[in-house]
Amino acid sequence: MFDAHPRFPELPNAPGVGYKPQHFQNIMEDAGSVEWFEVHAENYMGAGGRPHAQMRMLSEKFPISVHGVGLSIGGEGPLDPEHLGRLKHLCEWLQPTVFSEHLAWSSHENAFLNDLLPLPYTKDTLTRVADHIDQLQNTIGRQMMLENPSSYLAFEESTWSEPDFLREVANRSGCGLLLDVNNVFVSATNLGYDPRDYIAAYPLDKVGEIHLGGHDEDEDEHGATLLIDSHGKPVVDPVWALLDHTLALSGPRAILIEWDNDVPDWAELESEAARAANALSQVPA
Residues 6+ apart with CB under 8 A from 165: 121, 125, 126
- The yes-or-no verdict on residue 220 having pLDDT over 70 is no
Model pTM above 0.85? yes
Domain assignment present for residue 10? The answer is: no
Q: DSSP H helical segments within the chain, as ranges?
A: 24-29, 50-61, 81-94, 123-140, 162-173, 181-191, 195-201, 237-250, 266-281
- Cα separation, 120 vs 173, whole angstroms: 19
pLDDT at 3 (0 to 100): 61
Mean pLDDT (the chain) is 90
The CATH number linked to 211 is 3.20.20.150
Domain assignment present for residue 96? The answer is: yes
The mean per-residue pLDDT over the stretch 52-62 comes to 95
The mean per-residue pLDDT over the stretch 150-168 comes to 87
Q: What are the backbone dihedrals phi and psi of residue 256, each rounded to the nearest 5 degrees, phi first?
A: -105, 135
Coil, strand or helix at 188? helix
The mean per-residue pLDDT over the stretch 154-179 comes to 93
Q: In terms of pLDDT, which residue wins out, 119 or 280?
A: 280
Widest pairwise Cα distance in the chain: 52
The mean per-residue pLDDT over the stretch 123-127 comes to 94
The mean per-residue pLDDT over the stretch 171-192 comes to 95
Residue 11's pLDDT band (boundaries 50, 70, 90)?
A: very high
pLDDT at 107 (0 to 100): 42
Domain assignment present for residue 7? The answer is: no
Domain assignment present for residue 5? The answer is: no
- The yes-or-no verdict on residue 285 having pLDDT over 80 is no
Domain assignment present for residue 187? The answer is: yes
Domain assignment present for residue 2? The answer is: no
pLDDT at 9 (0 to 100): 61
Domain assignment present for residue 84? The answer is: yes
Among 76-85, 252-261, 262-271, the minimum mean pLDDT is found in 76-85
Residues 6+ apart with CB under 8 A from 277: 14, 15, 33
Q: What is the pLDDT of residues 230-243, one digit of tens each?
A: 888 999 999 999 99
Domain assignment present for residue 8? The answer is: no
Degrees, nearest 5: CA angle 111-136-229: 60
Give me the number of domains the chain comprises: 1
Q: What is the total residue count of the chain?
A: 285
- The yes-or-no verdict on residue 105 having pLDDT over 70 is no
- The yes-or-no verdict on residue 208 having pLDDT over 90 is yes
pLDDT at 114 (0 to 100): 45
Nearest to 198 by CA among 207, 185, 211: 185
Distances in Å between the Cα of 159 and the Cα atoms of 123, 175, 204 are 8, 22, 21
Counting other chains too, the contacts that 272-278 makes at CB distance below 8 Å and 24 or more residues apart are 272/17, 272/212, 272/234, 272/235, 273/15, 273/16, 273/17, 273/32, 273/33, 273/34, 274/15, 274/32, 274/33, 275/235, 275/240, 276/15, 276/33, 276/212, 276/243, 277/14, 277/15, 277/33
Domain range for 218 is 15-281
